[in-house]
């Protein structure tokens, strides 16, 4: 992946994490939860440890939903 793509990916993952963190009681339906889990799995396969960490954070937050 190019550096710009990785930066964009990190920003998107960070935004998702922030939304989940700031809205812990936000209602999320099964389809959204499934999509968030797919995003988390995709991020966790990245070579950049910061992006992997974002994926792990999303996975942890969605596991409680």
pLDDT in tens, 15-51: 999 998 898 888 878 888 899 999 999 999 999 999 9
Distance CA 59, CA 39 (A): 9
Closest by Cα among 14, 23, 22 to 57: 14
pTM score, whole prediction:
0.79
Backbone dihedral angles phi then psi of residue 9, each to the nearest 5 degrees: -60, -40
Range of the domain at 25: 3-63
Q: How many domains does the chain have?
A: 1
């Amino acid at each position: 992946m190019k550096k710009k793509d990785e930066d964009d990916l990190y920003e998107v993952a960070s935004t998702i994490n922030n939304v989940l963190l700031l809205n812990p009681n936000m209602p999320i339906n099964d389809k959204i939860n499934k999509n968030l889990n797919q995003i988390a799995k995709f991020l966790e396969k990245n070579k950049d440890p910061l992006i992997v960490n974002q994926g792990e954070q999303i996975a942890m937050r969605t596991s409680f939903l």
